[in-house]
A and B are shown apart, each in its own frame.
Chain A
Amino acid sequence: GAGVSQSPRYKVAKRGQDVALRCDPISGHVSLFWYQQALGQGPEFLTYFQNEAQLDKSGLPSDRFFAERPEGSVSTLKIQRTQQEDSAVYLCASTSVGLRGGYGYTFGSGTRLTVV
């Protein structure tokens, strides 16, 4: 597609519910990133994929967070047993560059998760 597509745009979850957030990167983009953006803050790194391999998951805040990209294209970020502190915008970015230093990132519009 023309850009990075994320769905859903908005998600309201009850505390304790599991959620799945989807990212469709630009076709052919090798690298895919997930970032978490709290209200009024800058995006913070969660995890990085190069093709289907998850090369870095050091930013995932707890073992309730899980990400996958099984075929090297679409990625899903799953959050189990959601907590109020998980409320944020979750951004996905992709790039054709096989480095993770921010070169050529295209971000999606994000999924705004609200845990009530």
Chain B
Amino acid sequence: QQQVKQSPQSLIVQKGGISIINCAYENTAFDYFPWYQQFPGKGPALLIAIRPDVSEKKEGRFTISFNKSAKQFSLHIMDSQPGDSATYFCAASTGANNLFFGTGTRLTVIP
């Protein structure tokens, strides 16, 4: 059973556009929601994370929006650049649980 459902599977965005990736979860005990960025041949790297006591967190061009009642969270990449082309994974966990990953979104930013 997939603990975290992620969409879309792939995304193509023009340079300068906004990339939006969505995730949904069922386990209301989850209290930590990170996003990871993975380039080919590399391991996932933490991009940004949020806890459910806030509805939004922004770091540079990356923003997480969190909707606790809907059990959904999303990643917004503003002013998308070709260097942002990578696979993005949402994830969720509690302190005592393992990190559960979504299935990934392959983002391509075209110049």
Chain A contact patch, size range: 20 to 34
Q: Is A41 on the interface with B (CB-CB < 8 A)? A: yes
Chain B contact patch, size range: 20 to 34
| CB contact list, B10-61 vs A, under 8 A | 31-32, 34, 41-46
Establish whether residues B104 and A102, one from each chain, have CB atoms under 8 Å apart when the complex forms: no
The closest CB in chain B to the CB of A110 belongs to B43
Residue from the list B31, B32, B104 in contact with A40, Cβ < 8 A: B104
Residues of B in contact with A (beta carbons under 8 Å apart): 6, 31-32, 34, 41-46, 89, 91, 93-104
Give A4 to B46 CA distance when docked, in angstroms. 14
Establish whether residues B99 and A102, one from each chain, have CB atoms under 8 Å apart when the complex forms: yes
Interface of B is mostly: loop
Which chain A residues lie closer than 8 Å to B46 at the CB level? 104-105
Min CB distance A50 to B, Å, is 12
Which chain A residues lie closer than 8 Å to B96 at the CB level? 99-101
Residue from the list A99, A102, A109 in contact with B43, Cβ < 8 A: A109
Min CB distance A61 to B, Å, is 15
